[in-house]
Amino acid sequence: MTEGPGAVDGHGMLPVVKILVNAGLIFAVSEIAKSHNKAAALVAALPWVTTLVMIWMFVEKAEPAKIADHAYYTFWYVLPTLPMFLLIPFLIHRGTPFPLALAAGAVLTAALFWLTVIVLRKFGVDLAPDL
């Protein structure tokens, strides 16, 4: 039996499974949104990506502390993204074209992320990514 990075049952299928599950989730939400926008928003708002990442980390035998850290940092990273979901509809309802509203949301998120990193550092939480 051949073992290697990402191997599942020796066949190396984990990367394919990960791609299919993750892509399937995005596809499902976009399809639901065509006829049930609130339901799609609810499904999209659930922490699917983080949950799936933690599952993949577990399957790939990551240290429990690393999985816990992933959840912890995700909590802090989500906070500065939330205002974007108010700014974009606000701008669109006032006639701003979607690409500009999206860009404004991205700029706001980047600024709030930077501010969050600075503020939380004073409380002993280091969010600066290790690049």
Say if residue 4's pLDDT is above 50.
yes
Whether residues 82 and 120 share a domain: the answer is: yes
* 130 phi/psi in degrees, rounded to 5: -85, 105
Whether residues 113 and 73 share a domain: the answer is: yes
The pTM of this model reads 0.71
Domain interval for residue 86: 64-131
Say if residue 81's pLDDT is above 70.
yes
Looking at per-residue confidence, does 88 or 6 come out higher?
A: 88
Q: How many domains does the chain have?
A: 2
Whether residues 46 and 23 share a domain: the answer is: yes
* DSSP type of residue 51: H
pLDDT for position 84: 97
> Which among 62, 87, 102 is the end of a domain?
62
Confidence of residue 1 (pLDDT cuts 50, 70, 90): very low
The label of the residue with tokens 């599950």 reads 21
> Which among 62, 92, 110 is the end of a domain?
62
How far apart are the two ends of the chain, measured CA to CA in Å?
36
Q: Which two tokens stand for residue 101?
A: 């509203």
Whether residues 77 and 53 share a domain: the answer is: no
Contact (CB, 8 A) for 91 and 100: yes
Whether residues 117 and 131 share a domain: the answer is: yes
pLDDT in tens, 10-57: 557 788 888 898 899 889 889 999 999 888 888 888 888 899 899 989
Whether residues 84 and 48 share a domain: the answer is: no
Whether residues 41 and 68 share a domain: the answer is: no
Sign for the pseudo-dihedral over CA of 3, 6, 8, 11: negative
The label of the residue with tokens 């995700």 reads 74
Separation CA 108–CA 91 (nearest Å) = 13
H helix and E strand count, the chain: 6, 0
Say if residue 128's pLDDT is above 90.
no
Looking at per-residue confidence, does 1 or 3 come out higher?
A: 3
Mean per-residue pLDDT, 61-71:
95
Say if residue 2's pLDDT is above 70.
no
